[in-house]
Amino acid sequence: MVYTSRSARHGALLVGTFAVLGLLTACGNGKDVHTNPPITASGTAAPATGTTKSPEAGTSAPAATATGAVPAAPSKAAPSASGGGTATAAATTRCHTSQLRASVGRNDPGAGQENFPVVLTNTSGRTCTVHGYPGAAFVSASGSPLGPDPKRESGSPTTITLRPGQSAWAGLTFSNPGISGAKTATPAALLVTPPDERDALKVVWTGGAVPVSGNSSSVFLSVFSPGTAP
């Protein structure tokens, strides 16, 4: 057995202590060769939304519009009509005053009656319809009415389709004043109002005197028929 002096043992203990301290200092220098390198994730950062909750991994939030709302799916467009077929309601609506021209045809007298066709012609570029009776009124040069408004004859109104350039006519009839003895006046114009319209068309009257009062002074209108005369 080798004898070691007390001073030698004390020296060895100090050396061991310094060795341990040196090892601990080396481990705390922040450089660990065994540490894995940092992982860099690619992608685009989302804008802050005011909440600390992060979206779950593997999901993506829908893009927001300028107002912050998620854009709605586009509505499904209605199929468009193709080819020929029945005209749509928009293409065959009622004829308006602005689409028509009024005229009065030649007198066709008979059996003591005067018979004038009142004609409406489609001057527009689209198809439209007339139905029923026109409105009419005789007026003087100053625009004053002459006699009562014409009455309606009995009849069965039908819808007349007018393509551009086509016409419909209604009969304007009254008893010959020379036979009936009614009081007369000579109008300057006849105002013709298309069915269901408020604005009238002015036609110069060249048919002579018309009854305005007295016996058998009534003037009558018939329903519209296709064409310009019977």
Q: Rg of the chain over CA atoms, in angstroms?
A: 51
Q: pLDDT digit string (tens) for 84-108?
A: 233 334 447 999 999 999 999 999 9
CA distances from 174 to 2, 39, 47, 119, 205 (A): 161, 105, 86, 17, 15
CA 178, 106, 228 angle in degrees (round to 5)? Answer: 135
The dotted CATH code for 92-226 is 2.60.40
The tokens describing 97, both together, are 């005053």
Domain boundaries, the chain: 92-226
187 vs 178: CA distance, rounded Å: 17
Helix (H, G, I), strand (E, B) or coil at 36: coil
Residue 215 banded pLDDT, cuts 50, 70, 90: confident
Q: Name the 3-class secondary structure at 82.
A: coil
Pairing of strands 100-104, 113-122: antiparallel
Residue 35 — very low, low, confident or very high, per pLDDT cuts 50/70/90?
very low
DSSP 207: S
Does the pLDDT value for residue 195 go beyond 70? yes
